[in-house]
Amino acid sequence: MEISSKSPVSLYVQLKDYLVQEIKSHRLNPNDQIPSERELCDKFSVSRTTVRQAIRLAINEGLLYSIHGKGTFVAEPKIDQGLIRLTGFEETIKGRGLTPSMKVLEARLISADVHITGLLGLPVGSDIASFKLLGIANNTPMVLFYYYLPTALGLEAIEHVRSYEAQKGWFSFTRYYRETKQVDVGSAHQTFEATVATDEQAVLMEYPPGGALFKVTSIIYTREKEPLEVRYAYYRGDYYKFSISRDVGS
């Protein structure tokens, strides 16, 4: 591939396109280090500014990532999770050929704040079961989950998550509702937001503070429309995207 200042495409865009082709053709693979700035300057006879612009563009597009003092590497393609049929963490991670596991950061009864009791339709100050779980793929923390359940439903789950953790498994609340509690999930209301990692979340997820997080808030109801669970899930923005295909009405 040639890079030419006579092309109407800017030099740095041409250089980014070169990197795209290297990735698409598998000459560069996920987590490979890309050539140094100096090598790229020499190879294409372009300035260091041009090389840096190309790399910055590729990082912004999620194609590369850089580690301070180490260099620039090819990013893993993001996990693409369907939005219409929302798959569970275990299924999504296994579908990528990775091993899901769970770290229990909290599993206990707490006095709920007014916000959570309001969402669950409980009196202010009610005890609820509170869970904070880290979803891990192989050894990488991917998602931070917070679950809030009425005590009657959640008390038993506190024991379960501990035993699943010990077995290096993933505890599915949906399966627990159906199989243990004989409760059918009826519907869900979900909101999706972009947020940034707090210092605490960054430490837990081994993620830079201020890194982008995709936040999903779910309020889950029984078939009888009773609130069953409030869930907040924070997905690492560098690993996850969500997608939907739809017919567009006129």
* Cα separation, 231 vs 147, whole angstroms: 5
* Contacts (Cβ under 8 Å, ≥6 apart) of 228: 149, 150, 153, 177, 183, 185, 220, 221, 222
Task: Give kind and range of the element (H or E) at residue 42.
Answer: helix 37-44
Indicate whether 155 belongs to the interface with its own copies (CB under 8 A).
no
Which x/- pattern over 7-46 shows residues binding its own copies (rule: CB under 8 A)? xxx---x--xx--xx-------------------------
Q: Which two tokens stand for residue 132?
A: 């904070």
Q: 11-24 and 48-60 helices cross at what angle (nearest 10)?
A: 50
Of 99 and 126, the one with the shorter C-beta distance to its own copies is: 126
Among 213, 227, 230, 231, the residue binding its own copies under the rule CB under 8 A is: 213
Report, in angstroms and rounded to the nearest whole number, the Rg of the chain calculated over CA atoms: 23
Q: Three-state SS for 181?
A: coil
Asked if 191 and 217 count as a contact pair (C-beta separation under 8 A), the reply is yes
Stretch touching its own copies by CB under 8 A, among 36-44, 67-75, 136-144, 240-248? 240-248
Indicate whether 146 belongs to the interface with its own copies (CB under 8 A).
no
Q: Which of 102, 114, 1 is nearest to 54 (CA)?
A: 1
Indicate whether 105 belongs to the interface with its own copies (CB under 8 A).
no
Among 48, 195, 206, 226, the residue binding its own copies under the rule CB under 8 A is: 195
Among 153, 220, 230, 233, the residue binding its own copies under the rule CB under 8 A is: 220
Asked if 126 and 112 count as a contact pair (C-beta separation under 8 A), the reply is yes
Among 190, 203, 206, 226, the residue binding its own copies under the rule CB under 8 A is: 190
Indicate whether 188 belongs to the interface with its own copies (CB under 8 A).
yes
Indicate whether 95 belongs to the interface with its own copies (CB under 8 A).
no
* Cα separation, 61 vs 239, whole angstroms: 13
Which x/- pattern over 159-178 shows residues binding its own copies (rule: CB under 8 A)? -------------------x
Q: Which of residues 51-90 bind its own copies (CB under 8 A)?
A: 60-61, 78, 80, 83-85
Min dist CB 165 to its own copies, Å, is: 25
Indicate whether 206 belongs to the interface with its own copies (CB under 8 A).
no
Q: Which two tokens stand for residue 79?
A: 């996990």
* Cα separation, 19 vs 16, whole angstroms: 5
Residues that bind its own copies (CB under 8 A): 7-9, 13, 16-17, 20-21, 60-61, 78, 80, 83-85, 111, 113-115, 124-125, 178, 184-196, 198, 210-215, 220, 235, 237, 240-250
